[in-house]
């Protein structure tokens, strides 16, 4: 599952480039804060939020259930942080327990998506925002996290329906952000630097999964 209390992304609100306000901004002038930068970051000022559509999802067919806002932070990806990774997780529990954990502000971690054994997909954090799922701030900022229902030591939890649904989801993410469909850009939680997690574990069939992702990403051709 996502990063724990001790390893989560510790920056609660501020992105890589802090917005300078008041007299400081006036003194620095446009030579430092270019117009396009201000246009992108205006909503970071106190009391201003980038507009969101209530209940909107990034993947068609996903169900929206909001994670606690303690488990992610607002961003404007890919404008402020480029997205070039998908991180595969396993929940180490049921679908319902993962949803409950990500809604708990005390959990301090959550992924963007959860995929169930039956193939259902729930989105809990928008892709434009930074989810605390990888246990590494840089990787959080540049990735989309996908949890999969089950346990790493139970290969039977990784069903055909789960593989197929997750592959379609990952293919869509890769197409959206121009992410190469390879093992350098689609990784397991265990491959994140500094993590103490082992998921998705040795029973996750990477060869099968990558083949499905490539197939799902191919444009349909007419006979």
Does the pLDDT value for residue 78 go beyond 60?
yes
Instruction: Look at 26 and 1; give whichever has higher pLDDT.
Output: 1
Please tell me the predicted confidence (pLDDT) of residue 38: 52
User: pLDDT per residue over 108-120, tens digit each?
Assistant: 999 999 999 999 9
Please tell me the predicted confidence (pLDDT) of residue 222: 38
The β-bridge relationship of strands 121-123 and 113-115 is antiparallel
- Residues 27-37, mean pLDDT to the nearest whole number: 47
Please tell me the predicted confidence (pLDDT) of residue 42: 47
Does the pLDDT value for residue 44 go beyond 80?
no
Decide: 88 and 25 in contact? Cβ < 8 Å: no
Does the pLDDT value for residue 174 go beyond 80?
yes
Find the radius of gyration of the CA atoms of the chain: 18
> Confidence class of residue 51 from pLDDT cuts 50, 70 and 90?
confident
Is it true that the peptide bond before 200 is cis, omega within 30 degrees of 0? yes
pLDDT-wise least confident of 8-17, 107-116, 145-154? 8-17
Please tell me the predicted confidence (pLDDT) of residue 20: 34
Please tell me the predicted confidence (pLDDT) of residue 50: 64
What pTM was computed for the model?
0.80
Dist CA 23 CA 165 (whole Å): 51
Is 147 among the residues known to form the active site? Answer: yes
Q: Which residue has the tokens 């293919």?
A: 171
Summary mean pLDDT of the chain = 84
Residue of 5, 49, 54, 147 with catalytic role = 147
């Amino acid at each position: 599952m996502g990063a724990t209390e001790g390893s989560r992304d510790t920056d609660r609100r501020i992105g890589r480039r802090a917005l300078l306000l008041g007299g400081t901004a006036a003194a620095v002038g446009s030579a430092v804060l270019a117009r396009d930068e201000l246009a992108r970051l205006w909503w970071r000022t106190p009391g201003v939020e980038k507009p969101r559509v209530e209940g909107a999802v990034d993947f068609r067919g996903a169900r929206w259930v909001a994670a606690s806002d303690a488990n992610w932070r607002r961003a404007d990806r890919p404008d402020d942080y480029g997205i070039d990774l998908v991180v595969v997780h396993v929940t180490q529990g049921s679908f319902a327990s993962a949803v409950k954990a990500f809604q708990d502000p005390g959990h301090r971690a959550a992924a963007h998506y959860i995929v169930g054994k039956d193939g259902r997909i729930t989105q809990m954090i928008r892709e434009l925002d930074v989810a605390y799922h990888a246990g590494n701030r840089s990787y959080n900022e540049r990735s989309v996290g996908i949890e999969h229902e089950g346990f790493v030591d139970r290969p039977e939890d990784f069903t055909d329906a789960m593989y197929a649904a997750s592959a379609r989801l990952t293919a869509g993410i890769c197409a959206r952000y121009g992410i190469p469909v390879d093992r350098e850009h689609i990784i397991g939680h265990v491959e994140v630097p500094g993590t103490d997690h082992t998921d998705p574990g040795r029973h996750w069939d990477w060869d099968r999964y990558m083949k499905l992702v490539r197939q799902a990403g191919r444009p349909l051709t007419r006979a």
